[in-house]
Amino acid sequence: MASSTTVLSPCPGKLSVNRAARSQLLWSCNCALEPFHAGNFAPSLLGSSTKRLETQPVGDRCQASLLSRISGMSRSRWFQHGAALAVILSAALGLRLAGIATQALWADELFSWKLASLPVTELLERATEQTAVHPPLYFLLLHFWMQLVGDSEVCLRLLAVVLSLCEIAGVYTLAAMVSSSPNSSEAKAFPWAASVAALLVACNPPQIHWAQQVRGYTLALALLTWSGVVLLATLRQRWPVPYHGWLVYGLLCALAVLTHYLAATVLLAQYLFAGVYLLYCCWKERREPRAATHAAASRQLLGLGLALASMLIVLAPYLETAWQHIELACYSEYTTLVGWRRFHSIRDALVGNGIMAIDTASNWDYLYALVLAGVLLWLVTDGRFESWLVFCCAVIPWVILNIVSLFSWRDAFWSRYLSFPQVWWLLATGLVLGRWRWPYRTPAVAALLLYFLSGVYHWYGRFLPAPSRSVPQAGIAYLREHYDPSEPLVVTGYRCYYPLAYQTRGWARPRLLLPAGMDREFVRGGMTHLADDEVLDEALLPYLQAPGVWLILCRLYSGCEPNLDTFPAHWELISSHGASLENPHGSDMYILHYRIHARPGRPPDPFAKYKSANKDGSKSNRQP
């Protein structure tokens, strides 16, 4: 039997290594499991766990839990973390699956589906075109996801749901790391801060909204949160310098940028935080050589440079395309005149914006400003460098996005990207509430969760059909009950809307749902499916016989050539314009404006000569 100083395995005769190799392996395992055992540094583990293994009898070591021996955590501690995270993820999954099948795909989701349906080579070729605008990583992932689980509306959206759960797990891990100091009493307490932060993200209405979209926002958010976890774990390690950790961090940063360009706003905040913190450690080491700072701060700076270099190397083949995409976005979204648009308040950063915001009076902004000012005050005065990471990632992207929106004529377009700093605002709020004493914490957390859930019900719950109704019947019943004949109905080909009165904060347009699958049949086969009298007349038009004019806005995507003869007789073509129909996004649309007349009878068609030209073999789909 080997001596206790040379046995890594608790059982005799399994594996014999020297003390240095054992210590290195324990240190590596500690780094991997460090977020879950309240931030014990590697040296503390090497000092306590190694000694415990050497003094513990071999028979007892055989009965010990592997996770307990490696991480220094008891089984009860692992159970607390696992149970809390399992409950939160279950609640988040239920909220994200509710109503996921009741809405047809809309324009941006159709673009994702269309691009992901292409072969990989063609997908990459299309994604590098200037009009594609978006990076290709999410569409590649969606492509393989569709091959694995299918391409129905629910299957397409399930990918965003899974990625959203990964994001919540990352928020929980990061909050556990930030809230727990080494060797503190918090290490043995229930992880309230991590649980509250993850619950806030799980129940936040905008986060649920994007988790039900066939878009790449949840992938970008998951990569950003886990990049924060890796960054914090790498900064906490002392010796040897974890260059492999910096390489992993650089790879996660590159993947986040390849998912969405505006993820760079959060990465900028992370790099600024890491650089300033390591420079401070170097300065403190020179002034106080025996100070309890990182002994390898200068080498950690080299590791940070290695992470930046690895990110740029991964992005190098795509930098030219990225610049073209950003240039096109700037050309189409910006105005040369600087106008003071609506500044996206702290409230918008916390609970959403525009359509996704919860309806409250405008004077609630003062309350949000007061609450979040307290959050920032706590983060700044907390005294732990981890708190500054949350501070930078919450404030810097929020400021950048507001500056961008001031120059944009579509400020609402940029406001949707507040979801990037929003996660960090929610994380900061959870950290503050988690440190309150239980008589104050419980009602505060309950009130905030009820507030979020009321927003979820407001924006999603009232649109869900009754179990006994089909999707189009529920939408028509809602229209029949609340329809105002003085307001026009807008049919976009994939959804129907009717306007409501503008509200104090934001506005709402309840969705009249078309039959499931109609939208993608519309994209696959042109206008024929939508123009089917049996579908439209029986499901929709009998309820639209009130006096007035109805406007139809139809959009065609790549590969679709409109058949202008297949529309019902009471549809009058007002105007039509399109593009080359060669690209899957941007100008790749053929937009048709139609009036629906209450009475049958085909009105004169002002574009008859263009239709006859198409019949003669002309490939041009352009109309004046």
pLDDT tens-place string over residues 508-529: 222 333 333 334 443 333 332 3
Question: What pLDDT is recorded for position 406?
Answer: 66
- Residue-wise DSSP of 378-397: HHHHS--HHHHHHHHHHHHH
The predicted structure's pLDDT at residue 272: 94
- pLDDT tens readout for residues 334-355: 444 344 444 455 555 555 544 3
Instruction: Specify the amino acid at residue 123.
Output: L
Find the Cα–Cα–Cα–Cα dihedral 64, 66, 72, 75, rounded to 10°: -70
Cα–Cα distance list, 433 to 143, 301, 399, 581, 601 (Å): 41, 34, 24, 52, 65
Task: For residue 275, give the nearest of 248, 297, 253 by alpha carbon.
Answer: 297
Choose among 104, 142, 132: nearest CA to 523: 104
Most confident region among 119-128, 457-466, 474-483 by mean pLDDT: 119-128
> Mean per-residue pLDDT for 213-221?
90
Cβ-contact 134, 324 below 8 angstroms? no
DSSP state of 34: G
For the chain, the distance separating the N- and C-terminal CA atoms, rounded to the nearest angstrom, is: 90
Residue of 551 and 156 predicted with greater confidence? 156
pLDDT recorded at residue 302: 87
Higher-pLDDT residue of 455 and 228 is: 228
Looking at residue 506, its amino acid is: G
Task: Copy the structure tokens of residue 579.
Answer: 């593009």
| Continuous segment of H or E residues that includes residue 81 | helix 75-97
Of the pLDDT bands very low, low, confident and very high (cuts 50, 70, 90), residue 90 is: very high
**How far is the C-alpha of 571 from the C-alpha of 584, rounded, in Å?**
27
pLDDT of residue 193 exceeding 60:
yes
Is the pLDDT at 596 greater than 60? The verdict is no
Judge whether residue 234 has pLDDT over 70. Answer: yes
What per-residue confidence (pLDDT) applies to 427? 87
Kindly give, in sequence order, each residue whose CB lies less than 8 Å from that of residue 443, ignoring residues fewer than 6 positions away. none
CB–CB of 393/265 below 8 Å? no
**CA 617 to chain CA mean position, Å:** 46
Q: With cut-offs at 50, 70 and 90, classify the pLDDT of residue 137.
A: very high
Given pLDDT bands bounded at 50, 70 and 90, which one contains residue 130? low
In this structure, the strands spanning 490-491 and 550-556 are parallel
Number of H helices, E strands in the chain: 26, 6
Structure tokens at 117: 């349906």
Asked if the model's pLDDT at residue 135 lies above 70, the reply is yes
The yes-or-no verdict on residue 585 having pLDDT over 80 is no
Helix (H) or strand (E) holding 419: helix 419-434
Tell me, what's the pLDDT at 344? 53
- For the record, the structure tokens of 176 come out as 């556990």
Spatial separation of the C-alpha atoms in residues 121 and 315, rounded to whole Å: 18
The token pair at 345 is: 């308040």
Burial class (CB in 10 A: 0-12, 13-18, 19+), 287: exposed
**Which residues, including other chains, have CB under 8 Å from residue 621's CB and lie 6 or more apart?**
561, 562, 578, 581, 590, 614
